[in-house]
A and B are shown apart, each in its own frame.
Chain A
Amino acid sequence: MSAVPSRAGPRRFRQMSGQVGWGVVAWVVGIAFFLPVLWMVITAFKPESAAETWPPRFVFSPTLAEFRLVFAGWGPYVTHSVIATVGSTVLVLVLGVPAAYALSVHPVKRWRDGLFFFISTKMLPIVAAIGPLYVIALKAHLLDSIWVLIILYTAMNLPLAIWMIRSFMLEVPGELLEAARLDGAGRIREITEVIMPVVSPGLVSTALICVIFAWNELFLALNLTVTNAATMPMYLISSVPQEGLYIAHLSAAATIASVPVIAVGWIAQRSLVRGLSMGAIK
């Protein structure tokens, strides 16, 4: 009787301690990643004078002064960001759904090449293309226009979106499409009545990913816009003055800029993981 627990005891203890050990590692890593974010949020609530002390102070009287300052100045930037983000995401979906359909449900000839072409556009460093892009935007009178961002963000997100939507469409059971064919649904009805309802959760997560990427984009905005189309990431940069204290102000602006994407990520986390890993299996 007593032999059984005494033999099982150490093993269970080892198992438990192993779990605890990994738990500690996970927490340490997690905190290490989260610390800068936490630091940013805390700093945002500090007065400028308390922000830049070393070692950082954790006891201070919190203030919303910096937030008020951000809200006073962010107007045009946030408007541009919303327009560029929403506009490009809508375009991505409008173009991505038919493209993904043509690469999955009824694949065109040489669909593999098509698929590879789309993803290959993501391989070139964007810096390499910025010169020509600048000249083209200049000649097309699109420099510092919101349209240049909508177009480029669409181009930037489209390949990933096509890959994602395609993997969702591949999950639509073949029998379902055959049933629709027998029921007399044409191509349009097939998409609207059969495929779209099944893949719509996937479209939502694709859209959310596009929103995050477009919202955070800085490089193109920085090089192709000045004021008429400057976005939130540009506002963060512009809140860094040539001289004087700015850490608290920057933190407040960064916190506000992060809220939408964190919210979106939070809402989407389950479908995001599913959407991204589905592509990995296929």
Chain B
Amino acid sequence: MAHVKYVSATRVYAKDAPPAVDALDLDITDGEFMVLVGPSGSGKTTALRMLAGLEPLDGGRVEIGDRDVTWVEPKDRDIAMVFQNYALYPQKTVAENMGFALKMQRVPRDERDRRVREAARLLDLDDALLARKPKALSGGQRQRVAMGRAIVREPQVFLMDEPLSNLDAKLRVQTRSQIAELQRRLGVTTVYVTHDQVEAMTMGNRVAVLSGGRLQQCDTPRQLYDNPVNQFVAGFIGSPAMNLLTVPITDGGARLAGAVIPLPAAVRTAAGRAGLSEIVLGVRPEHLHLANGSGEVAGEVMLVEELGADAMLHVRLAEGGNQIVARAEGRQPPSPGRQVTFHVQPDDVFAFDPGTGARLAG
């Protein structure tokens, strides 16, 4: 087992282009499940490939354990990777696929077989499957074989590049929890790349949010949700996404749909110091509470998405015509066309600098 460390790790693909990964600093502790998440082009896969040794560094370094592995060959890094499309050798049987790395390390056949069997049992792969070719397996089975190939190596670090993206929705949720559970049991440091923030939140001990090649925030799922450091993280984490509206500042608060949402003094001071007349106001859908006409934020229901346990209301605000999404109790949501009002707790409101996107600290 080992910790992993990125120190100003940088990767530039083309000379004039901005770096794909820009001075990434990240400490991953021993045994941690770290998720790299971000939209496409955020540099999360490049960051993972730099750790794998499949992508050279243009600056900085990468450490595994206390060893600088920046220029170490992939095979000598003591890592194992699960690829998005599994990358199983099509002409080899499942057992040969799983044992290939050991064969390359000249591990004797007996031990190889033993470790392959052990990994197969761990993943609920039948002995009968071991003799089959990948072509004869289902998508879920292939995914498990790819996992097995990584486990057999007993590496210091697991690297996973969107390993669930080729599974159907139901299987993905199942496999998600299996992988998280397996990782806890094995206790192997894991770096997991995904673009799906739900996957990130449910699996990771900590989640690193990347955008445009830069690390935005790295924290526990709870902290990312409760305390996003900037507008990007606030909008990316949480489903449905946080409502972000540019609104003018007035005395004591921010003006939203005719009402004044009170802002903490610290936020007002910060906004004043930055000389802002407008801020970006962030409210999560679950923090807009239906208030039967007594709430301060008014609007008209345009669309209702019924999700069973709750319903998503798409509401056009009375003033300004901005659309927001609110989460309501699923039993009796207001029907489209109804005028509704919401109550907002001042503590639940986030404020961001519209220019830089930085959180105005409360």
Contact = CB atoms under 8 A, between A and B. Distances in A.
Nearest to A177: B87
A5 B87 CA distance: 53
Given A197-B90, A197-B91, A198-B90, A185 B85 contact: no
Nearest to B82: A179
Given A182-B74, A182-B81, A183-B75, A189 B104 contact: yes
B52 interface: yes
Contacts of A57: none
A179 B142 CA distance: 15
Nearest to A197: B91
Interface in B121-178: 149
B225 interface: no
Interface residues of B, number: 23
Contacts of B183: none
Nearest to B100: A183
B232 interface: no
Interface string A171-197: 001011011111111000100011001
Interface string A187-228: 001000110011000000000000000000000000000000
Chain A facing B: main interface SS? helix
Interface residue range, chain A: 10 to 19
A179 B74 CA distance: 10
Nearest to B159: A182
Contacts of A193: 89, 92, 100
B182 interface: no
Contacts of B86: 175
A198 B79 contact: no
Nearest to A185: B104
B93 to A, nearest CB: 12
Interface of B: 52-54, 74-75, 79-81, 83-92, 100-101, 104-105, 149
12 contacts: A173-B85, A176-B87, A178-B52, A178-B54, A178-B83, A182-B81, A183-B101, A184-B101, A184-B104, A184-B105, A194-B89, A197-B90
